[in-house]
Amino acid sequence: MIKGLRESARAFFIGMIVCMLLACSGQQAKELYDTAKLEELQHNSAHAVQLYEQIIVRYPSSDYAIKAKERIDELKKIK
């Protein structure tokens, strides 16, 4: 009984850690995206594209990766 309880508690804590890490990665994607948008406002599109590309590589399944691809496409149209 105690062994099963320990395994359940361990699984719970591992799940919590995974959830926290995923939440943090979402926050980091947002921070990179916000920084890239700021770079655009400062007319530094080359650096903005680099940041958008980092989002796509590091967080490919995030909503920010989709947004980053859209921004890259828009910036390439402007050039």
- Per residue in 31-60, pLDDT (tens digit) is 999 999 999 999 999 999 999 999 999 999
Integer Cα distance of 3 and 22 in angstroms: 29
pTM over 0.85: no
In a domain, 15, yes or no: no
To which residue do tokens 């980053």 refer?
68
Res 35: pLDDT: 96
pLDDT digits (tens, 9 = 90+) for 9-38: 565 555 555 545 555 557 999 999 999 999
pLDDT for residue 23 = 54
Q: How many domains does the chain have?
A: 1
Is 73 among the domain residues? yes
> Which residues lie below 8 Å from residue 79, measured CB to CB, with a gap of 6+?
45
Domain interval for residue 38: 25-79
Q: Is residue 36 part of a domain?
A: yes
